[in-house]
Structure 1
Amino acid sequence: MTEPSFVSPLADDPLAPPMALTIGESGFRAIIENASDIIARFNPLRQCTYINHRISHYLGCHRDALIGLTLKDERLPATLAIPLQQAIGRALALGREQHLELHATLGGAPRVFDTRCFPELNSDQQVTSILCMARDITEASQAKRLLTEENAVLEMIADSRQVNQIMYSICRMIESQLPRCMGAIMTLDEGGHTLSLAAGPSLPPAYAEQLEKLPIGPEVAACGAAAFWKRSIIVNDLTQSPLWESLGPLACQLGLRACWSTPIFTADHQLLGTLAIYYQEARSPSPVELRLIYRCSHIAAIALQRNLHEAQLYRLATQDGLTQLFNRRHFIDSAERHLNQARRYQRPVAVMMMDLDHFKAINDHYGHAVGDRVLSVFSRLCLRSLRTSDIVGRLGGEEFAALLPDTTLEDARIIAERLRQHVAQAELAHEGRAIRFHVSIGIALMNEQDNLDSMLARADRLLYQAKALGRNRICIPQEAVDGSDQQGELPLGLA
């Protein structure tokens, strides 16, 4: 092997101070040989005439085996050999330094090299060789890419994008940092006993289906166990883990072998869900991989907590705090939108005004706390009796209203009677006594000149007529019964 000659730049410098330190050829050779960068020289035929020992760290062969070979002969990955060969060709032709970034998988790991090709000139200013220096910037490149991806996710959070879309992006961010892994994020269901898959873009579809409503328990896969114990669960081989008794056969059948799961918490350590990493080979995480998982779980926590706060704000703005039904303002806004839509498509719409009978007496006799319980029970009965398409809200006190889209008067009567019967059959236990209560209902149907206010006003008049006739009953327009212009009661629910 021909060793290169290196001359100290200070040796022949007439301006150097008398005590300047000079470095001989052997000193420069020692620096080059022990450099952390790959340093190589190529002749005009693009044959390697020198390369330092650092190359052995990446290729696993002695550097002597590469001397005299071209980039094609060295059997380097094409993502390295082709762009480097092109850069050397440009440096030879132009006589100028070439700078490029090379990406390749070496030793099973992705690598990024910041590479410079310097033309070396003789006394006639002719290019005699190309000196190449390649610096491994993999960690810096990954950190830069991670920061860019994190900023993109944080912008999505700031823009209030859909939470599942944000979870999807976080999984993709993890997968870009950890090649061959499959990211998955599960969120805590409302009851707090199960987890549901929020994002798992690379998981096999058949396995993803099994992650819907995953129970939380000490031995329910890595995610269920991580949520139960509230700590990270590392399973380096699913085939050897008792946590996969239920999901294991399917997971192994689909090629999954390792799973690392960590819980996602709010700032005050309340569980939000779990973040998991799957691999198709049995393996344990490195400290770098664990740090990345914790970092991504923190970002997921920010997004999930932001979503919770927005949901809470929405509930505060739209729901009645006691009954969880729509409050007056949101009911009117929603009802007007549906009414306009029904008018546009000429669809029937009915409204119901409802009032609990003798509610003041319940408050006075049993106290407001029991009265609040009565209102809560009634709201649940409304949700049970009405349809999912119906809009129901508390207008104030014991007064409620419902808008029934795409509903004829006959259908409205059936729905109202179902509600009246459910209320009449309900009992509220208090200090060994059963408290019973009833509801009176007035119904109005939309006509061509109607708006929401006029419909509610007509239904309200019928409601008070039902009360005047003895309560615990339903009143509808009299013309619906006998075709007259007078209002009257439907003979249902007589007290």
Structure 2
Amino acid sequence: MKKDDLDLTPIIENVVLKTILNNSTDTIYFKDLKSRFIYNSRAHADQLNEPETSMFLGKTDFDYFPPQFAKAAFDIEQNIIKTGQPQIDVIEKWDKPNGDIQWLMSSKYPLYDEDNNIIGTWGISKDITKLKEAEEQLVKLNKELTEANHRLEILSIRDGLSGLYNHRHLFETLQANEIQRIRHVKHGQEMIYSLVVFDVDDFKTINDTYGHLSGDKVINQIAGIILKNTRASDMCFRTGGDEFAILLINTSLQSAFTVAEHLRQVISKHDFILGENSINITISAGVSTCTQANSIDEFVGLADTRMYVSKNNGKNRVSQ
């Protein structure tokens, strides 16, 4: 028998097509010019609960899917018929009647006859629900990670008890401000910032008399007073056990002294409630400005020294 005596190509093509349609886990479908089903794969029948693929004949997506889903698919197919251009990897969301959501990735193509005329469309849809759920979970985890990193960043610069910035962040901020001030000077501009430091007079006595929990309450109440009596642009720090600092941007030494003195008076008049007890406390403060020092350490040291001058001169005062 000669090779040309029997052409098996049509038979093979038919077998291949049926094998694909009957065994592919992706749904495969063929439609006419009006987007009516003319042939469907076994997986498509299973997906839409049809016992036989022949049950699709003459039906459309509107018979199986929500109107919005079906309309979107119809519009895509009609555009393919009009333009001859396929639509690749279109993501479709299918809201099922039972409340489940199925995500599909569909590619659709023009269907041609032997004369190369478009007679409909055909497409393949892959269930990507698990992939989509994994992506959404990844987005959620990334969001949670970002939020956790943000919380850690806040914790790294905040004092856990008072909620004010901590000692480390004071020096980080001073370094940043000094760099900015130097840049201003180079451009012939003036930038002045000042520092108020203070601690609570006889704080150890408060702890010894009322307990450390009461001492913590005093710290918290002082932090609240500081925040209520400073500007939004001012930065407030708890730098030690009962030690605080306030960085005042664009503030002269005299203006910083005024802020410190006002704060001293407010604190001295405040009734600190510790359980059934109410006590009054005082603070000793020192003030410095950046133009008085050649380094950050000297700038902070000047304010510290002046705070101790206040201590040695009877406490409950501000020195500059």
TM interval, short-chain normalised: 0.5 to 0.7
Where in structure 2 are there 5+ consecutive unaligned residues?
Answer: 1-5, 9-14, 16-21, 40-55, 64-72, 93-103, 185-189
Indicate if the aligned counterparts of 1:408 and 1:445 stay in contact, CA closer than 8 A.
yes
Q: 1:302 to 1:349 in 2, by over 3 A?
A: same
User: Which of residues 99, 111, 114 in structure 1 aligns to 2:108?
Assistant: 114
Is 1:57 the counterpart of 2:60? The answer is yes
Structure 2 Cα separation of the partners of residues 459 and 129 of structure 1: 89
In structure 1, how many angstroms separate the alpha carbons of the residues matched to 2:253 and 2:116? 97
- Structure 2 distance, partners of 1:111, 1:328, is 54
Q: How does 1:86-97 map to 2 (within 5 A)?
A: 87=84
Do 1:36 and 1:54's aligned partners in 2 also have CA atoms closer than 8 Å? no
Q: Distance in 1 between matches of 2:62 and 2:105?
A: 12
Summarize the Cα distance change of 1:407–1:84 in structure 2 as closer, same or farther, 3 Å threshold: same
Q: 1:389 corresponds to which residue?
A: 233
Alignment equivalent of 1:443, drawn from 287, 298, 311:
287
Aligned partner of 1:101 in structure 2 is 87
Q: Tell me the equivalent position of 2:80.
A: 83
Aligned residue for 1:396, secondary structure, equals coil
> What aligned pairs does 1:182-221 form with structure 2 within 5 A after superposition?
none
Partner letter of residue 452 of structure 1?
A: I
8 Å Cα contact 1:354/1:399 also seen in 2: yes
Instruction: Give the match's secondary structure for 1:329.
Output: helix
8 Å CA contact 1:342, 1:405 repeated in 2: no
Q: 1:119 to 1:352 in 2, by over 3 A?
A: same
Aligned Cα root-mean-square deviation (Å): 3.9
Deviations 1:134-158 (A, max 9, x none): 2363xx37759x83x974xxxxxxx
Sequence identity (%): 25
- Describe the SS at the equivalent of 1:471: coil
Which residue of structure 2 lines up, in the alignment, with residue 37 of structure 1? 29
> Cα–Cα, structure 1 residues 440 and 100, in superposed 2: closer, same or farther, change >3 Å?
same
Out of 181, 193, 202, which is 1:358 matched to? Answer: 202
Query: In 2 relative to 1, CA 113–467 (structure 1 residues): closer, same or farther, beyond 3 Å?
Result: closer
Deviation at 1:306, TM superposition (A): 2.8
Return the alpha-carbon distance in structure 1 between the equivalents of residues 107 and 182 of structure 2.
Answer: 66
* 3-state SS in 2 of match to 1:397: coil
- Give the number of the structure with larger relative contact order, counting CA–CA contacts within 8 Å between residues 6 or more apart: 2
1:344 aligned onto 2:187: no
Q: 1:444 to 1:51 in 2, by over 3 A?
A: closer
Q: Deviations over 1:239-293 (max 9, x none)?
A: xxxxxxxxxxxxxxxxxxxxxxxxxxxxxxxxxxxxxxxxxxxxxxxxxxxxxxx
Give the deviation of 1:314 after TM superposition: 1.4
- Residue 461 of structure 1: SS of its match in structure 2? helix
Once the two structures are superposed, the pairs formed by residues 84-483 of structure 1 within 5 Å of their partners are 84=81, 87=84, 100-101=86-87, 114-115=108-109, 117=111, 119-120=113-114, 127=115, 134-135=122-123, 137=125, 140=126, 143=129, 147=132, 151=135, 301-345=140-184, 346-447=190-291, 450-476=294-320
User: What SS does the corresponding residue of 2:86 show, helix, strand or coil?
Assistant: strand
CA contact (8 A) 1:443 1:459 kept: yes
One-letter amino acid matched to 2:122:
A
| Structure holding more helix per residue | 2
> What letter corresponds to residue 173 of structure 2 in structure 1?
S
Structure 1 residues 339 and 134: CA distance shift in structure 2, 3 A? same
**Residues 284 and 316 in structure 2, CA contact (< 8 A), matched pair in contact too:** yes
- Which sections of structure 1, spanning at least 5 residues, go unmatched? 1-11, 15-22, 24-30, 42-49, 61-75, 88-98, 121-126, 152-295, 477-495
Give me the whole-angstrom Cα distance separating, in 2, the residues matched to 1:416 and 1:86.
76
Residues 440, 36 of structure 1: alpha-carbon distance in 2 compared, 3 angstrom cutoff: closer
Q: Distance in 1 between matches of 2:143 and 2:280?
A: 42
Deviations 1:112-168 (A, max 9, x none): 563353553xxxxxx49777562363xx37759x83x974xxxxxxxxxxxxxxxxx
Counterpart in the other structure of 2:45: none
Tell me if structure 1 keeps the 8 A contact 2:174–2:296.
yes
Tell me how far apart the structure 2 counterparts of residues 449 and 382 of structure 1 sit (CA, whole Å).
25
Q: Report how far residue 83 of structure 1 moved.
A: 3.5
Pick closer, same or farther for the CA change 1:326–1:441 going to 2, 3 Å.
Answer: same
Match of 1:293 in 2: none
Distance in 2 (CA, whole Å) between partners of 1:112 and 1:309 is: 37
Is contact 1:335-1:391 (8 Å) kept? no
SS of the equivalent of 2:59 reads helix
Give the letter aligned to residue 329 of structure 1: R
Aligned to 1:278: none
Aligned to 2:258, the other structure's residue is in SS state: helix
